[in-house]
Structure formats: C-alpha cells, structure tokens
Amino acid sequence: MEYLFALVVAVALAVVLLNFGVKRITIFEYEKGLRYAKGRFEGILSPGQHWYVPLFTMIQKIDVRPRFVSITGQEILSSDGVTLKVSIAANFEITDPNIAINKVMNFQDALYLELQLALREIIGAVDIDTLLSGRGEISQKLMEITGPKVAKLGLKLFSVNLKDIMFPGQLKELFAQVVNAKKEGLAALEKARGEAAALRSLANAAKLIDDNPNLMQLRLVQAMGEASGNTFILGIPSELAPIPSPQAGAARKPKAKTTG
C-alpha cells in the first residue's frame, strides 16, 4: 500500500513538473544569480548549474566583473573663477548584487552622480596652480570622498583618475606664453652658466701662464703636434737667437777694391 502511494505521488509530481516545466540555468564564473520566489528575493546563487520552476521562481544573472565609467566634459568653476572642463575615469565592481540591484534603481547612474558631485566639490575648492601641480592628490581625494558612499550602493571603487583638464582658449594662450618664457629663461640661464665657466677657465689659464711663462711655449708645441697641413710662423726671441762669431762676420764682409 505504501509503495502504491509513493508511486502515485511520484506520478503526480511528474505531471506537475511536465505541466509547469522545469528549467536549468548556468551561472558562469564571472556572474552571480539573484533568486526570486513569487517576487521576493530569496538569495544569491553562486556560479554553477541550477534548476528551477519558472512558474514560482525567477533567476536574474548579474555580471560582477570590474567595469569602467567615464565622466567627460564637466564644466566646473575653480576657486579663482576659471571655468574648466574636467574628465575622469573610474574603475569599480559589484560586490553586493542584492543592494546594487534591489536597493538602487540604477547603480551606474548613482555612481556617476556621486563622482560628479565629489569632483565639483574638490575642484571648486582649489585654484588653477594647485590643480595642475596636484592631480594625483585630487584623484586620491576623489577616492576618499566617494569610496564610502559607493560602498553603500553595493559597489567597490578601485581607482578614480583625472583624464583631461581643458582650459578656455585665451587661458591656453597665456599658459603657452608662460611655458615659453620659462623655457627661454632656462636656456638663457644655461648659456650664462656656460659663459661663466668658460671665463673662469680662461682666467685660470691666464694665471697659470703668468706664474709660469714656459707653459705658453709648451702649449704651442702641443698645438703644432696636433695640427696637420698648417703653416706656422714662429718668432724666436732675441735672447734665444744664436750670436754670430767675429770670424763669420769677417768672412761675409766683402773685400775692398784697390786701385793702382
């Protein structure tokens, strides 16, 4: 009798399953599944194969791989009254699908708004020079401000970086002039340093020659040895020239003519 009852139950269950259908769903490694029973959230499914009856249950798959969001061309007024266009890029992932999907209408729009508000808050508190010299610090501040807020959305923020900072046309020209002036100043400074070094070398050489005149003769001999195909005319000092002997002078003296 018990066997017959179990058989009847199995047949009835099979009939129910055939009527209502049983489906299989595969959740991949980079996904999570949200299981709903009669519209109510029941839990998060891990990767693998899962069976369910569509009449009573629905499973929604969510891609939880890291993704990027880009905020471009935000016009922001700096503390010194300059209108800038700033672009940033953020890297994030879904850490809690229940919050990101069930508690927030659109988690990506919410993230976009949090980043946008934090960017305006930071840029509006600094001047142009601070912005240009501390881009890394601004990115760090964006992480500090938006990180805890984004965590409440079921997300984890990995990085936020400034992509581009665009200035108005006239300000671009002014910055270009400043850069050119700095480059010209550096070039003039290097030229002056080179000239000063050359003058110091000449002064040292002159002092050495004054202390030891023979150095000039040695330098001349060195230059002659290094040169090729050139003609040198040397003037021998009188104290170094040979003194002619009296006999040599007499031999060269012409004889006087005599008349008979």
Q: In this structure, is the dihedral angle defined by the CA atoms of residues 224, 225, 227 and 229, taken in order, positive or negative?
A: positive
User: What's at 226, amino acid-wise?
Assistant: E
Determine, yes or no, domain membership for 2.
Answer: no
Asked whether 24 and 50 are in contact (CB, 8 A), the reply is: yes
Determine, yes or no, domain membership for 226.
Answer: no
Asked whether 168 and 83 are in contact (CB, 8 A), the reply is: yes
d(CA 162, CA 136): 8
Q: Are 19 and 96 part of one and the same domain?
A: no
Other residues' Cβ atoms within 10 Å of the Cβ of residue 178:
10
Determine, yes or no, domain membership for 232.
Answer: no
Determine, yes or no, domain membership for 24.
Answer: yes
What is the three-class DSSP state of 203? Answer: helix
Tracing tokens 């699908």 back to the chain, one arrives at 97
Q: Are 152 and 99 part of one and the same domain?
A: yes
Q: Are 58 and 80 part of one and the same domain?
A: no
Tracing tokens 């949090």 back to the chain, one arrives at 114
Q: Are 209 and 154 part of one and the same domain?
A: no
Determine, yes or no, domain membership for 233.
Answer: no
Asked whether 59 and 50 are in contact (CB, 8 A), the reply is: yes
Q: Are 103 and 195 part of one and the same domain?
A: no
| Tens place of pLDDT per residue across the chain (260 aa) | 667 777 777 777 666 655 666 888 999 999 999 999 988 999 999 999 998 888 889 999 999 999 999 988 888 888 877 788 889 999 999 999 999 999 999 999 999 999 999 998 988 888 877 887 777 888 899 999 999 999 999 999 999 998 888 876 666 665 556 556 666 677 777 777 777 787 777 777 777 777 777 666 666 666 666 666 666 555 555 555 555 555 555 545 555 444 44
Q: Are 84 and 147 part of one and the same domain?
A: yes
Q: Are 115 and 44 part of one and the same domain?
A: no
135-151 vs 107-123: helix axis angle to the nearest 10?
A: 140
Task: Specify the number of domains making up the chain.
Answer: 3
User: E-assigned strands of the chain?
Assistant: 23-27, 31-37, 40-45, 48-52, 57-63, 67-77, 83-94, 155-166
Q: Are 187 and 119 part of one and the same domain?
A: no
Tokens found for residue 225: 């040895």
Q: Are 115 and 152 part of one and the same domain?
A: yes
For 84, residues 6+ apart whose C-beta sits below 8 A from its C-beta are 75, 76, 77, 78, 123, 128, 131, 165, 166, 167
Q: Which domain holds residue 210?
A: 180-217
Q: Are 56 and 72 part of one and the same domain?
A: no
Determine, yes or no, domain membership for 243.
Answer: no
Q: Are 200 and 130 part of one and the same domain?
A: no
Q: Are 147 and 55 part of one and the same domain?
A: no
Give residue 145's pLDDT.
Answer: 93
Length of the chain, please? 260
Determine, yes or no, domain membership for 17.
Answer: yes
Determine, yes or no, domain membership for 247.
Answer: no
Other residues' Cβ atoms within 10 Å of the Cβ of residue 154:
19
**CATH (domain of 160):** 3.30.479.30
